[in-house]
Structure 1
Amino acid sequence: MTDDAWLSRLEEEHSELELDRFDRADAWRLGREIAERGLTKSAPIAIDIRTASGVLFHASLPGATADNDSWVAKKAATALRFETSTALLEARVAAGGRDPMEPGWLDAATYAVAGGAVPVRVRGVGVVAVATVSGLPSADDHALVASALRELAAAQRG
């Protein structure tokens, strides 16, 4: 996929991927689904779902390390701050947008621009949480989260 096509796909996903609701039970279902997909692929990932005020779900699959937990925290902080997926932010930067990691903007100890964090957006409400994966290449981390969110949205619509 070309960079332009990837950016276009992420922009479309950003405007379309919304849930009807999201509570702690939904966070558990989403986290468990991502974990099951990761286990099936023997993916060495950390999975995290959090709000601005706390963690709703966290798991580290075999092979994941404390470094993955650090990346999860940074990616989640970035997605919550910008209310956009870190993959979309990364693609916008690659397309010539301003890099928020430029000196004087974001602190690299707190934020990261790498795919894998996707805001959980509820229709009519906005961003209520962020689901994050770390341990695979950036686009694969993103795809794992986005596909599970897409499945949860479809299940809510019946």
Structure 2
Amino acid sequence: MTDDDLIARLEEQERRLLFPRFDNADAWHLGSLLVDLATGRDLPVAIDIRRGTQQLFHAALPGSTADNDSWIVRKVRVVERFAASSYLVGRRLAAKGDTLDATFGVDPADYAAHGGAFPVRVDGVGVVGVVTVSGLPQADDHALVVEAIESYLAE
């Protein structure tokens, strides 16, 4: 798959995966779904869901470490700043030969344009939160979040 194809696929996911609403109960249900998916596959991940600045859900599964929590914070900042998934931001930058650094007014120690953080976008409202997974290669972190959101929205 070319960079352009991947970017187009990621953009399509973000257009398609819209929530009708997103409250604390939605965060709990989606987070529990992610935990079920990850534990069923023995994945060593940390899972985080936020609405605005409030953390609504967090789970650290066996094999995950405090470093995963640090990555979560850095990925969430990317989504909050650019209103796009951390993977999409990273792939767009890579396609241009750029990196997320002082050129964009950010410190790479505080921002990570690596896959795993996906915007919670409410239809007609915009981005209201972030769902994040950390612990796998970036494409796999992203894919797990997308799989869970697709499953959740299909219910």
TM-score with structure 2 length normalisation? 0.94
Query: Aligned partners of 1:149, 1:104: CA distance in 2, in Å?
Result: 30
Distance apart, 1:112 and its partner CA: 0.7
Alignment RMSD (CA, Å): 1.4
Query: Aligned partners of 2:151, 2:26: CA distance in 1, in Å?
Result: 12
Does residue 1:78 correspond to 2:108, yes or no?
A: no
Distance apart, 1:56 and its partner CA: 0.3
- 1:133–1:145 Cα contact (<8 Å) kept: yes
Aligned position for 1:69? 69
Aligned position for 2:6? 6
Aligned position for 1:135? 135
TM-superposition CA deviations, 1:92-135 (whole Å, max 9, x none): 01211643324562112321110000000010111111000000
5+ residue gaps in structure 1? none
Query: Aligned partners of 1:16, 1:104: CA distance in 2, in Å?
Result: 28
Matched residue of 1:62: which SS?
coil
Does residue 1:58 correspond to 2:70, yes or no?
A: no
Matched residue of 1:112: which SS?
coil
Percentage of pairs with the same residue:
51
CA separation of 1:97 and 1:154: change in aligned 2, threshold 3 A: farther
Alignment of 1:40-119 (within 5 A): 40-96=40-96, 98-103=98-103, 105-119=105-119
5+ residue gaps in structure 2? none
- 2:118–2:132 Cα contact (<8 Å) kept: yes
